[in-house]
């Protein structure tokens, strides 16, 4: 096909049409003709030579792989601008050295002299090579000084909008189903309709015992206590189950469990991820903010707004019209979401990677789209052009991120004081002066500063600066501060060719994804644009945000999402198994003012949620993966649940909310890439409060498939490894909880049978069967006999025998699986 | 001791039968799990690979190529005439003498004398290039192919592709006295299933976390495992056909096997004096690269798929900014052991199906960083491969006259990875894993098999 493309030309700014033949199948662009205005420097003859002899060859033989329009830029080399060959490709050497043909890699490649032989295909003719040699000898005149322009994105957006997830959310009426009595709620009717359609027979309802255990773990990550179980079993009112739902949703443990799901998504960590993995003691404020937000049932749209732009939102005022500091602080802390983005290197000069990490995370988490694929090229599968990526990039680039320090710049800066007045000033001044000294020391070390000084003077100045740092550190202000963001210098971003910040092309206005509306920042906006971004993402007409979140809630109740790829609602993701149900849920979510707790209740009150987890051969032959929910899927507890459940049944669990980690004092942070920060802090508080660092996972979380602190974890895998089995058999942690559980049941009851029964009720939520008691009693006798041969003192042996039985209970399948 | 061993075996069988009982047959189970990649069951590669296993030696900090394997007479000349780089830095003379070695006559210095004398068995690569000049990123690059965000390690990819031959040992073992740059991310399975993560084995009381039996007596442990097996079986009886339950029961058997076998792997008492001498290991010592190399051979014999040896940690390593002479004690630690391993593998007939790889973060600058030291240099460095499917006694690729840039047959880290996978029987473009909507591979979107080093 042929299309006319206008190309902006240098010099007087004349726009002339050029004809571009686009071979749609191969993506080869051939520029046939172009007229050029004269540049001030090269002579018209030189330019004519370029236009006649050089440009056509570049266009025809090089641009496919080496231009802004390349589908895959090769070797990071651009040949469609003069700047491109001046910078060179991956090697960082210029491809052409003007006036020096023999030092020009491009010519050597054309001549097939070295390892690099270019272009691929038939070699260039000797005449063409001679032209290039002449051109380089002429000083390589090249009028292509304008930033490269990207080709139009290869999507038809109207067509693309027909894809299911970009369609507006509908509000389908629950289908009418035969055997209407099966359904308890509207959701059930959607489920049952699918089951009927696939000729699947749903299993019966689970027992009350199974239900409460399931519900407790799902909502709080903890097992029901024997007392809670008894109360539920003894409650024969019709509201018995609902009362339990309400009780669990109101508990602090709820936020700790569901906050953790969110922290998985946003790859929360307590260290920065830089080469030395600097600790970030203040990251926990964001972590606790998330837990509080779930417990308060903060509306999901507000929850997102505050994380993206909390610092820019209006602050609540008291009766006197004075801004309430707590409210302001809360919103600032929420932007910790942006600050915890992964950091790279030791210098802070790879910040484009941090911004990529942010765009990647925000895209996947809030929209279910892999936006960051468009960093280097137009997205191959979804309608996300590179321009859109840099539209978002500009917003995040216009933001200032708290900096936790690195090897080279060890002092924190740009943290936001959580106070006002003098204290806030003190913190700001301290950060400014210490980080300023870091910069200056590094500039001296690198020889950028102090060139005019003698060695002696330089040494003296270095000593003075280091002395000053010590003096400042001694009086480091202890002012509460947040690992958060603030407004930076608002600017639109240049498109980076191939994702390389040194290869800037056209400037792209800050805005939102074209496929979701393509809103741009209003011209009167003087800020970064985060406020608008938060609105675009949470706009009720955005078809993705609500769908993505209800799918996550569903996933954590039913074991998998209606869309099985919760971070990918694009064309490479799975299609929803029950699209009407997904939209029904999204509509209810919107209707409830985005109440997450309301969604939980809607889901767990269904019959579908309360089904048994058994087997049915006939169903399995039709739907082996249980996609249509003919049963409830059994699941293994996750890393934190196993740990917390062991602590809970052994009565060792500290239910207090986690505070600061025991990091060394910040003024002692001298970590380098050679001596990185590594620590494991044990705590008896819940697993969500464990210190999680980026360079090395906590051993327990690593063994049991904990979240990846470097990348969004939408689904926890539940693998079975021998490393897990070893942890179960031999870890000090499991041994400690086994012993504590033995002490607990030993103190509570005097007979073996009673102790065994209590242990079963604690660990499994049920009483043991008679044969289990018999087997356990016999086991205790055998264990005591075996212990006689151990070095253990005789009076410790009975306790050890009981602990050994507890060890078996805690490592058993029944303990770590939920029906 | 002899009858203890047979006793252990019968015990193990007894315990094993307690575990498995009337469960699914292991073969069925393995098949159920194989589909998900969440299994270490042996798998067939794309085509028959020459190598069945890899021993991957990695030197943190960056070994100087111009002082070890890349002979540069012009660099000597440049240093002697006081020539300077464009930025005004003086060239540094290589500190060790170069000589032609063996039948092949390849030039190598006295820095690694034993390895140099083994060059007839080695394919030396002098045209390596990486993507990054910093430790962290280069470490990540040589392990995962990515110099920015963490990805699965090469050992994890091999484990994912091939599974393992010995279910009692991990498929991917890392022997490292200290953590390298990037910490455990260097051997992480990242988005691949967790069973493919490297298991760090260190000399000492507890070589693998939680390996040491906690139960006060072995008898008690067996009782515990027996009761656990009975409880689990009972639990499973009413929940038939759940592969997760079956798999979990199997892991305890494997863990028990590992608990029994790992001490046996680490027990060098049956190795002869001659073998210890070959590696330069004193009897009773668990120190140094010699110990690591000998353990690597024992792991290889027992079917471990990928064994990585890291000689030192993130500090006091090959990062010779101050004085290149600091390479000497480090090389002494590595040299005889690495050459000894090659000889030992040869004498045991394992050299034909074991691939030995030696590599580092990057090379070092031909010019001075401080008067006696060299800086980081990813634009040219040296590595070597030996054993299964690899040519012997060749030097592949060249750097330029000063060792500053690759000049001929460049081997990018992606190419290096593609070649290792090829030797294991994989087309590197087809060994993929779907994650976050994309098919990822070790070599990203690049990589060419280095045909020149293939036998």
- Contact: B227, A775; criterion CB under 8 Å: yes
Give the confidence band of A165 by pLDDT, cuts at 50, 70, 90: very high
- Residue B129 contacts residue B413 (beta carbons within 8 Å): yes
- Interval B89-116: pLDDT, tens: 899 999 999 999 999 999 999 999 999 9
Nearest alpha carbon to residue B406 among B75, B129, B64? B129
Report how far apart, in Å, the C-alpha atoms of B399 and of each of A92, A815, B75, B78 are. 17, 60, 12, 16
pTM of the model: 0.83
Contacts of B184 in chain A (CB under 8 A): 695-697, 702
Report how far apart, in Å, the C-alpha atoms of A5 and of each of A459, A712, B359 are. 60, 40, 50
* A90 pLDDT higher than 80: no
In DSSP terms, A205 is beta-bridged to A611
Give B409→chain A minimum CA distance, Å: 6
Is A373 at the interface with chain B, CB within 8 A? yes
Is B244 at the interface with chain A, CB within 8 A? yes
Nearest alpha carbon to residue A348 among A298, A411, A265? A411
The alpha carbon of B263 is separated from its chain's Cα centroid by a whole number of angstroms, namely 20
Which of B208, B257, B314 lies closest to A673 in CB terms?
Answer: B314
Is B405 at the interface with chain A, CB within 8 A? yes
- Residue B438 contacts residue A572 (beta carbons within 8 Å): yes
- Mark which residues 66-95 of B lie under 8 Å from A by CB: none
pLDDT value of position A33: 30
**A74, A722, A731, best to mutate vs chain B, most B CBs in 10 Å:** A722
pLDDT value of position A700: 95
Q: Where are the alpha helices (DSSP H) in A277-385?
A: 283-296, 300-309, 325-334, 336-339, 351-362
Q: Where are the alpha helices (DSSP H) in A5-160?
A: 44-49, 55-57, 82-87, 105-110, 126-137, 157-160
In DSSP terms, B390 is beta-bridged to B454
In DSSP terms, B377 is beta-bridged to B363
Give the confidence band of A32 by pLDDT, cuts at 50, 70, 90: very low
* B27 pLDDT higher than 50: no
Nearest alpha carbon to residue A597 among A215, A280, A248, A249? A249
Tokens of A775: 């087997």
Report how far apart, in Å, the C-alpha atoms of A604 and of each of A240, A378, A416, A600, B155 are. 13, 41, 40, 6, 43
Q: Higher model confidence: residue B205 or residue A647?
A: A647
Tokens of A49: 């030579």
Report how far apart, in Å, the C-alpha atoms of A528 and of each of A400, A482, A486 are. 10, 20, 9
- Interval A396-441: pLDDT, tens: 999 999 999 999 999 999 999 999 999 999 999 999 999 999 999 9
Tokens of B226: 């027996």
- Mark which residues 640-699 of A lie under 8 Å from B by CB: 673-676, 678, 695-697, 699
* A5 pLDDT higher than 80: no
Chain B residue with minimum CA distance to A814: B235
For chain B, the farthest-separated pair of C-alpha atoms sits apart, in whole angstroms, at 84
- Residue A716 contacts residue A703 (beta carbons within 8 Å): no
- Interval B131-164: pLDDT, tens: 998 898 899 999 999 988 789 999 999 999 999 8
Map residue A85 onto helix, strand or coil.
Answer: helix
Cα gap A164→A382, rounded to integer Å: 12
- Contact: A804, B215; criterion CB under 8 Å: yes
Give the confidence band of B184 by pLDDT, cuts at 50, 70, 90: confident
Nearest alpha carbon to residue A711 among B326, B365, B152? B152
The alpha carbon of A343 is separated from its chain's Cα centroid by a whole number of angstroms, namely 13
Report how far apart, in Å, the C-alpha atoms of A720 and of each of A72, A460, B33 are. 39, 60, 10
Rounded to 5 degrees, what angle do the CA atoms B179, B184, B190 make? 165
| A252-265 helix and A545-558 helix, angle to the nearest 10 degrees | 120
- Mark which residues 427-446 of B lie under 8 Å from A by CB: 436-438, 445
Give A209→chain B minimum CA distance, Å: 16
Nearest alpha carbon to residue B194 among A784, A652, A713, A705? A705
- Interval A522-567: pLDDT, tens: 999 999 999 999 999 999 999 999 999 999 999 999 999 999 999 9
* A320 pLDDT higher than 70: yes
Contacts of B258 in chain A (CB under 8 A): 722, 726
With tokens 């390589």, the residue in question is A140
Q: Is B163 exposed, middle or buried (0-12, 13-18, 19+ CB in 10 A)?
A: buried
Sign of CA dihedral B297, B302, B305, B309: negative
Give the confidence band of A13 by pLDDT, cuts at 50, 70, 90: very low
**B202, B223, B410, B448, best to mutate vs chain A, most A CBs in 10 Å:** B223
In DSSP terms, B394 is beta-bridged to B123
In DSSP terms, B287 is beta-bridged to none
Map residue A685 onto helix, strand or coil.
Answer: coil
Cα gap B54→A273, rounded to integer Å: 30
Q: Where are the alpha helices (DSSP H) in B21-104?
A: 26-34, 73-80
Nearest alpha carbon to residue A73 among A440, A394, A502, A484? A502
pLDDT value of position B38: 53
- Contact: A678, B407; criterion CB under 8 Å: no
**A725, A756, A764, best to mutate vs chain B, most B CBs in 10 Å:** A725
The H or E element that residue A781 is part of is: helix A770-788
Cα gap A37→A60, rounded to integer Å: 22
């Amino acid at each position: 096909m042929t299309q006319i493309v206008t190309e902006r030309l240098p010099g007087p700014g004349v726009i002339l049409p050029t004809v571009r033949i686009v071979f749609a199948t191969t993506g080869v662009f051939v520029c046939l003709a172009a007229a050029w205005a004269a540049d001030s420097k090269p002579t018209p003859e030189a330019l004519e030579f370029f236009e006649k002899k050089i440009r056509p060859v570049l266009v025809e033989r090089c641009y496919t792989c080496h231009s802004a329009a390349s589908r895959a830029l090769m070797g990071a080399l651009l040949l469609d601008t003069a700047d491109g060959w001046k910078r060179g490709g991956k090697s960082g050497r210029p491809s052409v050295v003007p006036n020096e043909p023999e030092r020009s890699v491009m010519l050597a490649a054309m001549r097939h002299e070295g390892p690099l032989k270019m272009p691929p295909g038939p070699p260039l003719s000797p005449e063409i090579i001679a032209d290039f040699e002449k051109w380089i000898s002429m000083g390589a005149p090249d009028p292509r000084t304008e930033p490269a322009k990207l080709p139009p994105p290869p999507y038809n957006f109207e067509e693309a909008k027909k894809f299911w997830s970009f369609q507006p959310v509908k509000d389908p009426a629950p289908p009418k189903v035969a055997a209407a009595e099966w359904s308890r709620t509207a959701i059930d009717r959607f489920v049952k309709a699918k089951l009927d359609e696939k000729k699947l027979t749903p299993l019966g309802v689970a027992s009350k015992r199974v239900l409460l255990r399931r519900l407790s773990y799902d909502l709080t990550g903890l097992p029901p206590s024997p007392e809670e179980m008894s109360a539920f079993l003894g409650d024969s009112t019709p509201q018995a189950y609902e009362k339990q739902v309400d009780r669990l949703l109101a508990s602090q443990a709820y936020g700790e469990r569901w906050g953790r799901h969110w922290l998985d998504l946003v790859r929360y960590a307590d260290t920065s991820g830089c080469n030395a993995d600097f600790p970030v003691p203040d990251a926990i404020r964001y972590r606790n903010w998330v837990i509080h937000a779930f417990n308060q049932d903060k509306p999901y749209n507000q929850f997102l707004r505050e994380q993206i732009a909390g610092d820019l939102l209006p602050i609540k005022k008291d009766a006197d019209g004075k801004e309430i500091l707590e409210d302001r602080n809360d919103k600032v802390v929420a932007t910790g979401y942006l600050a915890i983005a992964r950091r790279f290197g030791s210098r802070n000069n790879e910040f484009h990677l941090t911004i990529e990490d942010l765009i990647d995370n925000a895209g996947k988490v809030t929209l279910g789209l892999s936006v960051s694929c468009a960093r280097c090229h137009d997205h191959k599968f979804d309608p996300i052009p590179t321009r859109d990526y840099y539209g978002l990039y500009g917003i995040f680039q216009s933001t200032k991120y708290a900096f936790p320090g690195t090897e080279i710049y060890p002092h924190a800066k740009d943290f936001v004081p959580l106070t006002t007045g003098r204290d806030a000033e003190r913190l700001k001044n301290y950060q400014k002066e210490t980080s300023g000294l870091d910069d200056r020391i590094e500039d001296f070390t690198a020889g950028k500063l102090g060139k005019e000084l003698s060695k002696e003077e330089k040494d003296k100045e270095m000593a003075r600066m280091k002395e000053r740092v010590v003096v400042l550190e001694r009086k480091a202000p202890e002012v509460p501060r947040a690992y958060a963001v603030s407004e930076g210098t608002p600017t639109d971003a240049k498109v980076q060719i191939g994702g390389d910040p040194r290869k800037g092309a056209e400037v792209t206005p800050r805005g939102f994804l074209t496929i979701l509306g393509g809103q741009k920042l209003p011209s009167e906006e003087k800020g970064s644009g985060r406020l608008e971004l938060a609105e675009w993402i949470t706009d009720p007409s955005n078809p993705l945000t609500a769908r993505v979140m209800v799918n996550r809630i569903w996933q954590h109740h039913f074991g998998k999402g209606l869309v099985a790829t919760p971070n990918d609602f694009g064309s490479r993701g799975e299609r929803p198994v029950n699209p009407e149900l997904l939209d029904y849920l999204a509509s209810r979510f919107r209707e409830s003012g985005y109440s997450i707790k309301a969604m939980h209740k809607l889901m767990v009150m269904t019959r579908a949620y309360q089904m048994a987890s058994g087997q049915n051969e006939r169903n399995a032959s039709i739907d082996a993966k249980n996609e249509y929910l003919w049963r409830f899927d059994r699941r293994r507890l996750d890393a934190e649940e196993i740990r917390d459940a062991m602590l809970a049944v052994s009565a060792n669990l500290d239910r207090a909310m986690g505070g600061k980690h025991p990091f060394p004092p910040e003024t002692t942070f001298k970590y380098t890439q050679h001596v990185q920060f590594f620590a494991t802090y044990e705590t008896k508080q819940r697993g969500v409060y464990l210190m999680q660092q980026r360079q090395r996972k906590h051993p327990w979380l690593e063994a049991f498939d904990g979240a990846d602190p470097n990348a969004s974890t939408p689904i926890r895998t539940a693998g079975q490894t021998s490393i897990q089995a070893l942890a179960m058999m031999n870890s000090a942690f499991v041994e400690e909880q086994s012993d504590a559980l033995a002490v607990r049941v030993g103190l509570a009851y005097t007979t073996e049978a009673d102790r065994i029964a209590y242990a079963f009720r604690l660990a499994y939520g049920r009483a043991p069967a008679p044969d289990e008691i018999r087997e356990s009693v016999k086991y205790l006798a055998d264990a005591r006999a075996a212990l006689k041969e151990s070095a253990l003192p005789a009076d410790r042996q009975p306790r050890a025998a009981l602990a050994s039985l507890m060890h078996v209970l805690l490592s058993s399948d029944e303990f770590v699986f939920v029906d | 001791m002899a009858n203890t061993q047979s006793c252990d075996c019968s015990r193990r069988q007894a315990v094993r039968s307690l575990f498995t009982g009337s469960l699914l047959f292991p073969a069925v189970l393995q098949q159920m799990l194989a589909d998900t990649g969440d299994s270490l069951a042996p798998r067939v590669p794309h085509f028959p690979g020459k190598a069945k296993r890899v021993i991957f030696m990695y030197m943190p900090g960056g070994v100087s190529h111009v002082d070890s394997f890349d002979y540069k007479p012009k660099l000597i000349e440049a240093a002697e005439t006081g020539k300077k780089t464009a930025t005004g830095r003086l060239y540094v003379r290589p500190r060790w003498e170069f000589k032609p070695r063996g039948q092949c006559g390849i030039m190598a210095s006295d820095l690694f004398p034993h390895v140099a004398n083994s060059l007839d068995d080695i394919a030396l690569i002098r045209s390596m290039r990486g993507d990054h000049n910093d430790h962290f990123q280069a470490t990540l690059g040589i392990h995962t192919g990515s110099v920015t965000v963490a990805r699965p390690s090469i050992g994890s990819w091999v484990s994912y592709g091939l599974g393992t031959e010995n279910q009692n040992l991990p498929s991917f073992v890392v022997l490292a006295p200290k953590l390298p740059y990037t910490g455990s991310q260097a051997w992480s399975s990242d988005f691949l299933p967790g069973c493919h993560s490297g298991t760090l084995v260190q000399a000492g009381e507890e070589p693998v976390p939680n390996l040491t039996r906690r139960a006060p007596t072995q008898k008690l442990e067996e009782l515990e495992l027996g009761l656990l097996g009975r409880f689990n079986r009972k639990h499973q009886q009413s929940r038939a056909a759940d592969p997760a339950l079956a798999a979990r029961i199997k892991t305890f058997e494997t863990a028990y096997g590992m608990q029994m076998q790992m001490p046996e792997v680490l027990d060098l008492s049956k190795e002869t004096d001659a073998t210890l001498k070959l590696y330069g290991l004193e009897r009773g010592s668990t120190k140094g690269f010699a110990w690591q190399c000998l353990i690597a051979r024992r792991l290889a014999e027992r079917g471990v798929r990928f064994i990585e040896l890291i000689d030192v940690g993130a500090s006091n390593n090959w990062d010779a900014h101050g004085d290149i002479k600091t390479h000497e004690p480090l090389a002494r630690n590595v040299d005889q052991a690495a050459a000894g391993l090659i000889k030992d593998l040869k004498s045991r007939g394992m050299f034909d199906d074991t691939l030995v790889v030696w590599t580092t973060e990057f090379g070092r600058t031909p010019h001075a960083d401080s008067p006696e030291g060299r800086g980081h240099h990813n634009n040219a460095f040296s590595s070597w491969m030996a054993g299964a499917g690899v040519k012997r006694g060749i030097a592949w690729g060249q750097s330029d006259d000063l060792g500053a840039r690759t000049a001929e047959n460049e081997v990018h880290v992606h190419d290096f990875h593609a070649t290792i996978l090829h030797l294991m029987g994989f087309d590197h473009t087809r060994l993929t894993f779907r994650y976050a909507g994309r098919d990822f591979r070790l070599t990203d979107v690049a990589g060419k098999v280095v045909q020149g080093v293939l036998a």
